Chains A and B, each alone.
Chain A
Amino acid sequence: MRDLRRRLVSHVIMMLCVLSVALALIPLALVLFYVVSRGISSLSWTFFTRMPAPVGEPGGGMANAIVGSLLVTGIGALFAIPVGVLAGIYAAEHRGTRLASAVRFAADTLNGVPSIVIGVFAYSVAVLPFQRFSAVAGGLALGIMMLPLVTRTAEELLLLVPASLREGALALGATRARAVFTVVVPAALPGILTGVLLALARVAGETAPLLFTAFNNRFFTTDVRQPVSTLTVQIYTYAISPYEDWHRQAWAGALVLVALVLTCSLLARVVTARMERMRVG
């Protein structure tokens, strides 16, 4: 009798576990469904080629915002990748030193800092002193957000490279730097790139740190010293507006953004899977 009850409880709880998966997948399905269905019906070629139209004028697109998003994310990567990878190399190669632990701690801390706070920081160091909103300021904010992801991935993946590889290189008379840059880093590179890709995917979807750094721009610009429009900020502006036209644009923008971000994640996953097969095989 008691056994039966125990077994029943076990079954019920297992069912609840399965149910919780379903519960999490419902919002996922709903979000994707709305983004795709509303996005597709509002998406057209002009969306990619035109600038935003004034209210009341039909048409218009987000060409400037798409380019702006790439621009700002690119600037962020330009800053975060070298700094992050090199700091990661330090942390991996000098494991156990105080500085290495400090880097790890700093990166983890940075990772937890809310994005809006990073926006405030970027505003006060990259907007106020130069008295202008700019793509660079937005890029800096995104770069800071990418930094911990890149640093930690680089470190973790470098540590996974078998010690024998490095020792072999050192035994052949290579200097430490040489061994690291010609043998260890290349071995870990695919993994690091995966991490970078995921970091890019994550910051490309950020809005809060751009609100008062990259600001917004009605025009197409690739001048990094000018304010620039980004997909996310544009979606935000359109989403809270009262205009039907703009809502449609927001959904179309969301579709493009989600497609962009998911492609990055998927790509990373494919690379990971291929790496694994190589390692196993």
Chain B
Amino acid sequence: MIGSRPRSDDWLFRVGTGIFAVLVIGVVSAIALELYRESRLSLHEFGWRFWQTDVWDPVAGEFGARPFIWGTLYSSVLALLIATPIALGIAVCISELAPRPLQRPLVFLTELLAAIPSIVYGLWGIFVLVPLVRQLEVHTPDWLRALPLFKGPPVGVGMLSAAIILSIMVIPFTSSIAREVLRAVPQSQREGAYALGATRWEAIRMALFYARTGIIGAVMLGFGRALGETMAVTMVIGNTPQISLSLFAPQYTMAAVIANEFAEAAADLYLHALVEIGLVLFVITLVINVISRAFIWSLGRPARARRTRTAAAPALESA
């Protein structure tokens, strides 16, 4: 009796907590399933055509999602182009250059960027950034505005504003992971480089190279973040489904079209088309997260011991 108690207790413990573990998995599966169930009509009706056509016409029941996927990818890529060098610069600056007492406040400040809610960025975007961007657009010389990259009326709301806002939001994520990854590079690497007469940059370049998979992972994680961002983008991108290279043109993203049209999608097909966009967004971010995590983890767990120092970090980092 006494001998068997620990075992049954252990079993109970295992099942008791296991239920909740299964529940977490259940939530993810339920999301995937529900998204599929609610988008069947559109999946069957349009198939691949959904992603190859440009016409979004709820009146005629024609739904082509190419402009949305274009807008999402284009804005995210632009955001990455702006954010990546800055984020890496910050990571290098904090982990390699800054004197110790400065490191912590710098980490804190960059992480503040991640703590500010999306809606606040959106509000700021509408009233501060967009007017600034409009000024920039108005003062762009005509010969530049003849280029496809700068075509369109100087409205302010559009791709450029969206990309800037997104990049600000992505920087803290990329930089915090890049920082952790850099920390995981053995000190001996750098010392070896210095011993060979390398300059500071050459030593850091070596560390960056050593940590390259992790850095790629960090950038991709930022990409995943940018793809799903909704509110701030909706508020400044202009909400017009069109495929344009122009930074000045109003466009639309997948997340934004769901936010704007989901509540009102009258016909079943319309609703399913919107959910299909959600489903694809889900799948894309899933794939990107898996790949980027694989990249980061391939370096081994970066600096596990260090994580205790910033117990705050895991939540932010994994965010």
Within the complex, are A and B direct neighbours (CB within 8 Å)?
A: yes
- Footprint of B on A, CB under 8 Å? 6-7, 9-10, 13-14, 16-21, 23-25, 27-28, 30-31, 34-35, 82-84, 86-87, 89-91, 93-94, 99-100, 102-103, 106-121, 123-125, 144, 147-149, 151-153, 156-157, 160, 175-178, 180, 191, 194-195, 198-199, 201-202, 204-208, 211-212, 232, 235-236, 239-240, 247, 250-251, 254, 257-258, 261-262, 265, 268-269, 272, 275-276, 279
* Chain B window 292-312, contacts with chain A (Cβ cutoff 8 Å), 1 for yes, 0 for no: 010000000000000111111
CB of B318 within 8 A of chain A?
yes
Q: Are B24 and A107 in contact (CB under 8 A)?
A: yes
Q: Closest 10 A-B residue pairs measured CB to CB?
A: A114-B228, A205-B117, A20-B89, A10-B201, A10-B199, A86-B20, A90-B17, A112-B289, A177-B13, A90-B21
Q: Are B97 and A177 in contact (CB under 8 A)?
A: no
B223 → chain A, closest Cβ, in Å?
Answer: 11
Residue among B110, B113, B311 making CB contact with A272, cutoff 8 Å: B311
CB of B230 within 8 A of chain A?
yes
CB of B61 within 8 A of chain A?
no
Q: Are A89 and B17 in contact (CB under 8 A)?
A: yes
Q: For chain B, give the interface size range.
A: 35 or more
Query: Chain A CB within 10 Å — which of B20, B25, B87 has the most?
Result: B20
Q: Are B259 and A211 in contact (CB under 8 A)?
A: yes
Give the distance in Å from the alpha carbon of A91 to the alpha carbon of B281 in the complex: 28
Residues of A within 8 A of B278 (CB): 116-117, 120
Give the distance in Å from the alpha carbon of A106 to the alpha carbon of B17 in the complex: 16
Q: Are A156 and B307 in contact (CB under 8 A)?
A: yes
Residue among B14, B30, B110, B293 making CB contact with A24, cutoff 8 Å: B110
Give the distance in Å from the alpha carbon of A178 to the alpha carbon of B9 in the complex: 9
Give the distance in Å from the alpha carbon of A147 to the alpha carbon of B24 in the complex: 8
A96 → chain B, closest Cβ, in Å?
Answer: 13
CB of B149 within 8 A of chain A?
no
Q: Are A149 and B319 in contact (CB under 8 A)?
A: yes
CB of B81 within 8 A of chain A?
no
CB of B38 within 8 A of chain A?
yes
* Chain B window 84-97, contacts with chain A (Cβ cutoff 8 Å), 1 for yes, 0 for no: 01111110111001
- Footprint of A on B, CB under 8 Å? 5-6, 9-10, 12-14, 16-25, 27-28, 30-31, 34-35, 38, 85-90, 92-94, 97, 106, 108-113, 115-124, 126-128, 168, 171-172, 175, 199-202, 224, 227-231, 235, 255, 258-259, 262-263, 274-275, 278, 281-282, 285-286, 288-290, 293, 307-312, 314-316, 318-319
Give the distance in Å from the alpha carbon of A117 to the alpha carbon of B30 in the complex: 12
Q: Are A201 and B24 in contact (CB under 8 A)?
A: no
Residue among A6, A16, A144 making CB contact with B89, cutoff 8 Å: A16
Residue among A18, A176, A251 making CB contact with B6, cutoff 8 Å: A176
A interface SS class:
helix
Give the distance in Å from the alpha carbon of A247 to the alpha carbon of B127 in the complex: 9
Q: Are A201 and B289 in contact (CB under 8 A)?
A: no
Residues of B within 8 A of A87 (CB): 17, 20-21, 23-24
Residue among A17, A198, A211 making CB contact with B316, cutoff 8 Å: A198
- Contacts known (A9-B199, A14-B200, A89-B17); A257 close to B315, Cβ less than 8 A: no
Residue among B5, B9, B200, B231 making CB contact with A207, cutoff 8 Å: B231
Q: Are A147 and B27 in contact (CB under 8 A)?
A: yes
**Nearest-CB residue, chain A, relative to B111:** A265
Q: A116-B281, A177-B16, A236-B231 are in contact. List 18 more A-B contacts (CB 8 A).
A: A21-B89, A24-B87, A28-B109, A28-B112, A30-B128, A83-B20, A89-B17, A110-B24, A112-B288, A116-B258, A147-B24, A153-B311, A207-B230, A211-B263, A235-B120, A235-B123, A265-B112, A272-B311
